[in-house]
Amino acid sequence: MVRLLIISLFCISVCYGQGNRFAGFGYKNTCPAEALLFIDSAGITNQTEKDAICTLVKQLKDSALWTKMYAVYPLLGNASSAKFNLKSPYSRDTSYCLTFYGGLTFSNGMVGNGTNGYANTHYNPSTTNYADFSFGLYLGLNKDEVVADMGTITAASPTRGYYIQARTSNVFYMDAGEPGGASTTNTDSRGFYCVYRTSTTFAKTLKDGSLLVASAVTSVAYTGTNILIGCRDNFGTPAYFGSNNTGFAFLGKGLTDVEAVALNSIFQAFKTTLGR
């Protein structure tokens, strides 16, 4: 009888121990496998950040945006964690894993130093369909600088590229593969910028879900270099280094207006959860 009691006690203790092993991981049942892989690769231990990633992936999948993304950069933690692409969280260039250069620091994302800090996405828009593309980022600081916040530009005539320049002398500049790009007044650089096109003849930029500028200049095939974050690849050389705080970035296929607005809502929820 005593032996039975001891065995029972042992079993209860083992079962409790196993249950406890996953305490705090109850979300494993509901968190998408892709999010769990990212959390593991990036070594994220903070529960709020884990929850934010799970929700982000779920919402991207629910809104059919997941399959449209080439790269999603939540930019959590230090360089070793922030480098991972949520879509393919492996340390290799072909997964568009970020490579960080120069004097970047990491707090609520990636912070430039205005001198030489930037991230290489290893994504070259020469490989993309120039009629079907989107990219964007979230900037957390209000800065008026002669810098580019994200992108690449080629010298091959006609000069064109893919870039976001949030605020230079209170003007926003963008280019989505068309010669010349577009610009409009922007007196606050903070916000979530989403540049997208689904045809060669029309591109739009939303800021926090509202139309900032539209461009009707026809996009043309691009032969150039990788898209950088925190500066711009200028004819093959990183230049115009910014000092803003980039809290999120993405690269993807073209979005409809509805999808672009949905992406903004998903990002805003992510931002609120993290308090960025």
Instruction: Please report, as ranges, the residues that interact with another protein according to CB under 8 A.
Output: 78-80, 83, 99-105, 113-118, 146, 148, 153, 155, 159, 165, 168, 173, 232, 234-235, 238-241, 243
Shortest spacing between CB 109 and another protein, in angstroms: 14
Shortest spacing between CB 5 and another protein, in angstroms: 52
**CA-CA distance, 273 to 276, in Å (whole number)?**
8
Shortest spacing between CB 256 and another protein, in angstroms: 30
Q: Would you say 63 or 99 has its CB closer to another protein?
A: 99
Task: Please list, in sequence order, all residues whose beta carbon lies within 8 angstroms of the beta carbon of residue 91, skipping any fewer than 6 positions away.
Answer: 41, 83, 84, 97
Q: Would you say 162 or 173 has its CB closer to another protein?
A: 173
Shortest spacing between CB 174 and another protein, in angstroms: 12
Dihedral of the CA atoms 261, 267, 270, 276 (nearest 10)? -120
Overall size of the chain counted in residues:
276
Tell me the three state secondary structure of residue 2: helix
Q: Would you say 79 or 221 has its CB closer to another protein?
A: 79
Shortest spacing between CB 273 and another protein, in angstroms: 25
Shortest spacing between CB 241 and another protein, in angstroms: 7
Tell me the three state secondary structure of residue 142: coil
DSSP string, 61-119: HHTT-GGGEEEEE---SSHHHHT--TTS--SSGGGT--EEESS-EESSSEE--SSS-EE
Q: Would you say 105 or 199 has its CB closer to another protein?
A: 105
**CA-CA distance, 86 to 57, in Å (whole number)?**
8
Tell me the three state secondary structure of residue 212: strand
Q: Would you say 202 or 235 has its CB closer to another protein?
A: 235
Q: Would you say 59 or 234 has its CB closer to another protein?
A: 234
Helix (H) or strand (E) holding 133: strand 133-139
Task: Please list, in sequence order, all residues whose beta carbon lies within 8 angstroms of the beta carbon of residue 196, skipping any fewer than 6 positions away.
Answer: 133, 134, 135, 136, 176, 203, 204, 205, 206, 254, 255, 260
CA–CA distances in Å: residue 182 to residues 153, 163, 173, 268, 274: 14, 10, 6, 25, 32
Shortest spacing between CB 249 and another protein, in angstroms: 17
Q: Would you say 66 or 162 has its CB closer to another protein?
A: 162
Q: Would you say 42 or 262 has its CB closer to another protein?
A: 42
Shortest spacing between CB 102 and another protein, in angstroms: 4
